[in-house]
Amino acid sequence: MLGPLGRFLKFPFFVRLLLVLLVLQLTFYFSTRKYALKTRMKSVAQTQTHILNKTMVIPALASEGSWQTVVPENSQHKYLVFSAFLDVRNGRSIRIIAVTKTSTRKKGLVKPWCKLWYETPESGLNSKLVEGELKIIQEHWQLPYSPYYVTCPLSENESIPLMVSLLNDPAEEPLNMLKVISNYPEGKKWDANELEPDVKKMAVCVKPLHYDYNKELEFLEFIELHRIMGADHFILYNHTVGPQVNCLLKKYQQQGIVTVLPWELPIQSQKDIRTEGIFASLNDCLFRTMYKFSHVIFLDFDEFIIPTNHYNYRELFRYLHEKYNNKKTSWFSFKNAFFYRQWPDDPAVQEFEDPLEKQLLALRKTTRMVKLHAHGTRSKLIVRPDLVDMVGNHIIWAYYNHKVFRKMDVAPEDAILHHYRICEFGGNDCVKHPSTVDRSAYRYRDALLKAVKTRHEDHFDECQLSKIEGSKYPS
C-alpha cells in the first residue's frame, strides 16, 4: 500500500519537479491576487462623503426598468443589473437582480462589491462598500448567460440605503445606480409565524412580453378573468409589444391595475439566455411583490389557474386552509391540463348571441386532455412571496425554512391550470390524446363577457382595436 507521498515518489523526477513548480506558481498567483485586492481595498475609503452631486445622480437612479451595466462596455462579458430590494428575512440584506456569464462553480465567479449609498442631512450622499455574494438563479438551460442574485449584507442597526451600485472592482467608480425598493415597514420585526394564510392582496406576474405581443382580445380576457378570480394587480415586462396591446396596457396602467416595466435586456434571447431572461423577470417580480401582496401567481398569457368548485382564489384558499391548515405552506403547485386549441369549440358557443362572447377562449375551448401532467412538469404556482426565495417556471428553487414551511401539491379536485395552446410538439397529433369536457370556466361567463366587452367598447376607437365579426360597434 502506498501513501500519497509514496505514490508521488513513484513518478519520474521531471514530473515531480513540474508538479512542485506548478503548485508553487499557483500559490504565488493566489496570494498576490488576494494581496492586491486587500491593498486596493485599503485605498478605498470605507465611507466616502459627498462623493456624488445629488442633483446629478438622482435622475439616473433606477430599479424601475432599466438594465444598467456593471462593467465597461468593452469588457469580455456582459454584466448587468436591473433592480435592488430590501430583504428582511434571515437578517437584513439588499438583493440585486443581475445577469452575467453562466458559471455553476462558485470559483468561476468574481466577488461582487456593493456600494451602499446613504443620504446625509447636508444634501450629499455617503457611500459604504461591502462585499456581496453572487448566487445563480437555477434555470440557466446551459446558455452562456444567466440571471443571478447578488446579496449585499446590512449590519443589524444600519439604516436602509437609498441606493446601491454593484461593482466588479472595489476601486472603480460605479457605472450603475439602483434605487433600493423597500416594501417592508422600517423598524418592524419580521416573523414568518405572524403571516396570515388568507388571500389579502393578490398579484399576477407574467414573463416579458415579446414577439410584438398583440393578441388584443386574449390579453383583455387574461386580465379580466384574473380580476374576476381575485387578482388585484399585474406586473408585466415590456420587451416588445404590438400597438393595440400597448394602448390597452397604458389604459390599465393609468388605472393602477397594471405595472409595466421596460425590459430592454441587451442579450440575445434563446441563443445567449433563456427566453428574454424570463428567470430574472420572475424573480424581480417575486421581490417587487414581497411584503406587499399575500399571494402571487406566476403565469403566461395562455394560462389560467381555475378553481374546480370555488368562484375565486379567496374562497379556494380559505377552503384549502380549513382542510390542510396552510399557515405553514409557502407555495402551491397546480397541475397542468392542456386545452389544445385544435380541438373543436364547445358547441354551446354557437348559441351565444353576443359576437364577442363567441371569441372568448375560456368559453370556446372546453375540451382538455384527461391526463394531467405531474406536479413539477408544466405546473404553475401560486406563492406567498414573503416565504419564497427563488422562483422557477414550474417549481420553487428556494424558500424560507423548508423544514417548517412546506409546499402544497394542490389536488386536481380543487383546482387545475387551464393551458390553452396548440400541440406542443408541432403538428396536430396531440388531439388524439383521450379528452374530456371541462366547463368550469362557464361559471364566469356573464361576468367575463361584461368585463371584456366594457373594456373593448371603451377603448375601441382610441386603441384602434380590431372589429369583432358581426358586432354592432362601431355603428
Ligand X SMILES: *[C@@H]1O[C@H](CO)[C@@H](O)[C@H](O)[C@H]1NC(C)=O
- Residues near ligand X, by CB under 6 A: 53, 55-56, 156-157, 238, 241, 246, 249-250, 260, 262
Q: Closer to ligand X by CB, 2 or 56: give it.
A: 56
Residue 163, C-alpha cell as written in the block: 441606493
Alpha carbon distances (Å) from 337 to 369, 381, 459: 6, 14, 33
Return d(Cα 312, Cα 11) in angstroms, integer: 73
2 is written with which cell numbers?
502506498
First vs last C-alpha separation in the chain: 96
- Residue closer to ligand X (CB basis): 128 or 250: 250
Compute φ and ψ for 87, nearest 5 degrees.
-120, 125
How does DSSP assign 434-457, residue by residue?
Answer: -EEE--GGGGGHHHHHHHHHHHHH
Strands 68-69 and 178-181, bridge-based pairing: unpaired
Residues 141 and 386: their CA atoms lie apart, in Å, by: 27
Min dist CB 256 to ligand X, Å, is 14
Which long-range CB contacts under 8 A does 308-311 form with residues at least 24 apart? Answer: 308/412, 308/413, 308/414, 308/415, 308/416, 308/440, 309/413, 309/414, 310/415, 311/229, 311/443
Q: Which is nearer to ligand X, 261 or 416 (CB)?
A: 261
Q: How far is the CB of 219 from ligand X (least distance, A)?
A: 12
Cβ proximity to ligand X: between 150 and 258 the closer is: 258
Cell reading at 271: 441563443
Looking at the Cβ atoms of 252 and 405, the one nearer to ligand X is 252
Which of 249, 305 has the CB closer to ligand X?
249
Q: Cell numbers of 117, please?
A: 449609498
Closest distance between ligand X and the C-beta of residue 91, in Å? 11
Alpha-carbon torsion (156, 161, 166, 167), positive or negative:
negative
Round to whole Å and give the CA distance between 292 and 14: 66
Residue closer to ligand X (CB basis): 236 or 282: 236
Which residue, 246 or 471, has its beta carbon nearer to ligand X? 246
Task: Rank residues 251 and 375 by Cβ distance to ligand X and give the closer one.
Answer: 251
Q: What element of type H or E holds 56? A: helix 54-57
Rounded Cα–Cα distance for residues 164 and 70 (Å): 12
